[in-house]
């Protein structure tokens, strides 16, 4: 069965108190909108239509950045959820599959929940996602008659008996695309707010003899993000789920509450992660690695057996082969480190290729930037770089070469050579004692 996603993302998000559209605020390194798109992507949809409004250009750019296939339509006036869904009708004209309405500010709907909705759709015309709320508050109530959904009642319109119902409306709806379009076109704005409510389609469907039902999910999946406080709550919820998933997949987290993942972090089994580690966007760590305390990784790849940190920083483009060791206060950016190489102490390696089994001494810096351009450093296999070496790029060091401690390398070093480039030491007899005595007086 073909599937289309309609993701509502037009709201400004006044409670965010921000110039940024609400759906572009981030959890785990990705905008809320992308989380919603990722949930729906598990269904391998044929079409994805984003309904944008406030900050539409930025919303479209974010959607396209994640998926070139996303289509963006404009809701110039925000006249309710029914009106928003209606804006997608033209984009889905002639589409014969099912359509699922999602929300760009509701990032945690799980793929298995959407699959259950599609399964229910084979037996019913309209499927609504509901949840049993611990505190139903002012949520709309789903009024059931056996397995059939009779109606959705807004809290303000509900009777005392209906308010006692704990089964609440998430707003997520699934129906055949043309049926959804027909039902939405029949929605009226004859209400106090003068808006077109998507929830009204249930009553309209029933009046047409169509069937409706409810699929239930955990309340946590339906968390909507409308304020900075809720954004923080969402981050907490995401991290708790990501930590549990990592441990369930064979990763050791020594202090789980201190480890932070991004939406796309991948960690292989039997990897050990020590306390206070942050994984920013774009990190893959293979099996049997160790990420030591207080390290920060972003846009990098750590192969099997790697040991990183403590206090290491891997920046975008860091590509580490198997059994590489990166130690304390080391920063690596846009560099390939081959099998078994070591960069153990207080060094910066940027725009470089380090050969297998090479040892980078403490305080080594690849001087890669001349103020205008970045330049590349190539270090061969089995090289020994002495402590406090400055490698002024572009420069190449051949295999089994060596640099003396404190050397400034400005020319290529052939295979097997030792490079020495430092100022000759001169001792000035008694100068220090005389200087201190003069300063004290």
Q: Token pair of 281, please?
A: 């966007």
In whole angstroms, give the CA distance from residue 350 to residue 412: 17
Length of the chain (residues):
441
Is residue 379 within a helix (H) or strand (E), and if so which, with residue range?
strand 377-379
The residues, ordered by sequence, that sit 6+ positions from 426 with a Cβ below 8 Å of its Cβ are: none
Sheet with 402-403, edge to edge strand ranges = 252-253, 272-273, 290-291, 307-308, 325-328, 342-345, 359-360, 384-385, 402-403, 418-419
Nearest to 292 by CA among 327, 258, 343: 327
Q: Token pair of 40, please?
A: 């729906």
Say which residue the tokens 């539409």 belong to: 56
> With contact defined as beta carbons under 8 Å apart, do 327 and 321 qualify?
no
The residues, ordered by sequence, that sit 6+ positions from 436 with a Cβ below 8 Å of its Cβ are: none
345, 353, 375, 376: the catalytic one is 345
In whole angstroms, give the CA distance from residue 369 to residue 347: 16
Nearest to 180 by CA among 3, 379, 383, 412: 3
The residues, ordered by sequence, that sit 6+ positions from 205 with a Cβ below 8 Å of its Cβ are: 125, 126, 179, 183, 211, 212
User: Is 345 considered catalytic here?
Assistant: yes
The residues, ordered by sequence, that sit 6+ positions from 438 with a Cβ below 8 Å of its Cβ are: none
> With contact defined as beta carbons under 8 Å apart, do 274 and 293 qualify?
yes
3-state secondary structure of 15: helix
Find the distance separating the first CA and the last CA of the chain, reported in whole Å: 91
In whole angstroms, give the CA distance from residue 205 to residue 128: 12
Active-site positions read 345
């Amino acid at each position: 069965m073909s599937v289309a996603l309609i993701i509502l993302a037009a709201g400004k998000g006044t409670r965010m108190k921000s110039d940024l559209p609400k759906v572009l605020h981030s959890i785990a390194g990705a905008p809320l909108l992308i989380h919603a798109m990722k949930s729906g992507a598990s269904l391998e949809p044929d079409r994805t239509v984003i309904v944008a409004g406030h900050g539409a250009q930025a919303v479209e750019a974010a959607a396209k950045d994640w998926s070139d296939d996303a289509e963006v339509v404009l809701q110039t006036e925000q006249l309710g959820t029914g009106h928003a869904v209606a804006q997608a009708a033209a984009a889905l004209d002639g589409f014969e599959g099912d359509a699922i309405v999602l929300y760009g500010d509701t990032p945690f709907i799980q793929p298995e929940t959407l699959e259950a909705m599609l399964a229910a759709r084979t037996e019913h015309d309209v499927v609504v996602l509901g949840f049993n709320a611990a505190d139903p508050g002012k949520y709309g109530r789903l009024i059931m008659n056996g397995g059939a959904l009779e109606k959705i009642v807004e809290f303000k319109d509900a009777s005392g008996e209906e308010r006692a119902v704990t089964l609440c409306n998430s707003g997520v709806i699934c129906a055949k695309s043309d049926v959804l379009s027909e039902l939405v076109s029949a929605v009226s704005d004859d209400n106090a707010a003068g808006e077109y409510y998507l929830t009204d389609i249930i009553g309209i469907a029933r009046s047409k003899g169509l069937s409706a039902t409810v699929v239930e999910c955990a309340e946590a999946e339906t968390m909507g993000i409308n304020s900075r406080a809720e954004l923080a709550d969402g981050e907490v919820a995401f991290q708790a789920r990501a930590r549990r998933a990592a441990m369930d997949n064979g990763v050791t987290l020594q202090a789980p509450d201190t480890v932070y993942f991004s939406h796309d972090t991948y960690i292989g089994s039997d990897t050990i992660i020590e306390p206070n580690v942050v994984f920013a966007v774009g990190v893959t760590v293979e099996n049997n690695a160790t990420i030591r305390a207080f390290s920060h990784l972003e846009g990098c790849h750590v192969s099997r057996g790697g040991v990183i940190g403590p206090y290491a920083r891997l920046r975008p483009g860091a590509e580490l082969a198997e059994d590489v060791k990166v130690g304390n206060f080391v920063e690596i950016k846009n560099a390939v480190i081959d099998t078994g190489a070591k960069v153990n102490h207080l060094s910066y390696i940027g725009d470089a290729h380090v050969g297998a089994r090479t040892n980078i001494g403490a305080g080594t810096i690849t001087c890669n930037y001349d103020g205008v351009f970045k330049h590349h450093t190539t270090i061969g296999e089995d090289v020994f770089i002495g402590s406090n070496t400055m490698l002024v790029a572009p420069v190449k060091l051949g295999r089994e070469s060596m640099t003396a401690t404190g050397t400034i390398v400005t020319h290529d070093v052939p295979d097997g050579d030792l490079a020495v480039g430092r100022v000759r030491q001169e001792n000035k007899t008694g100068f220090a004692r005389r200087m201190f005595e003069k300063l004290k007086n």
